[in-house]
């Protein structure tokens, strides 16, 4: 069994984007049984989203690596909204925190999230938001994340 100390958390490299996309797909299948590959353009659009933000240093992904294999990931990016544009109060969004099932319960999701939080601090963000799965909520709460009064309306198209 691998020790958490032998699993490195580091920024992802550009050439690892396909592996990140694979983990994003696995996460979505696990959480809501949605096969992202049913939409043939999602990978291209996701890559475009990441690359556009990377060009302005407004995104980072972190990976958990064990013996040369990526076993977890998570991302953080700056949001563009009225607060960031008008008031200069940047906010960040943490996304896609995922650890392969056989590597869970070793603190990797926490370490990846801590890396994302540090990135947001370093990029002068004043707030960080995320959407928590039921299984991940405890990790985020122990890091100081709180439920807020935000509301959501899903629109049918």
Residue 81 has a pLDDT of 86
Per-residue model confidence (pLDDT) at position 86: 87
38 pLDDT exceeds 70? yes
**CA-angle at 43, arms to 91 and 21, nearest 5°:** 70
> What is the three-class DSSP state of 63?
strand
d(CA 62, CA 104): 16
Count Cα atoms within 13 angstroms, Cβ side, for 110. Answer: 11
DSSP state of 68: T
As a whole number, mean pLDDT of residues 21-47 equals: 94
Residue 12 has pLDDT above 80, yes or no: yes
Domain extents for the chain?
Answer: 4-142
| 73 close to 100: Cβ distance less than 8 angstroms | no
Task: Evaluate whether 21 touches 49 at the Cβ level (below 8 Å).
Answer: no
CATH of region 4-142, choose from 3.40.630.30, 3.40.50.280, 3.60.20.10, 3.30.43.10: 3.40.630.30
Using one digit for the tens of pLDDT, what is the confidence trace for 73-125?
999 999 988 888 888 889 999 999 999 999 999 999 999 999 999 999 999 99
Q: Looking at residue 3, what is its pLDDT?
A: 61
């Amino acid at each position: 069994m691998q020790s958490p100390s032998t699993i490195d958390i580091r920024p992802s490299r550009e050439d690892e984007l396909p592996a990140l996309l694979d983990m994003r797909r696995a996460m979505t299948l696990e959480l809501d049984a949605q096969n992202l590959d049913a939409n043939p353009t999602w990978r291209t659009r996701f890559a475009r989203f990441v690359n556009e933000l990377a060009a302005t240093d407004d995104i980072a992904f972190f990976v958990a690596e064990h013996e040369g294999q990526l076993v977890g990931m998570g991302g953080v990016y700056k949001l563009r909204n009225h607060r960031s544009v008008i008031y200069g109060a940047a906010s960040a969004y943490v996304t896609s925190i995922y650890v392969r099932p056989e590597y869970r319960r070793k603190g990797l999701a926490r370490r990846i999230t801590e890396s994302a939080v540090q990135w947001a601090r370093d990029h002068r963000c004043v707030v960080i938001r995320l959407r928590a799965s039921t299984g991940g909520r405890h990790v985020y709460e122990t890091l100081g994340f709180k439920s807020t009064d935000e509301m959501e309306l899903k629109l049918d198209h």
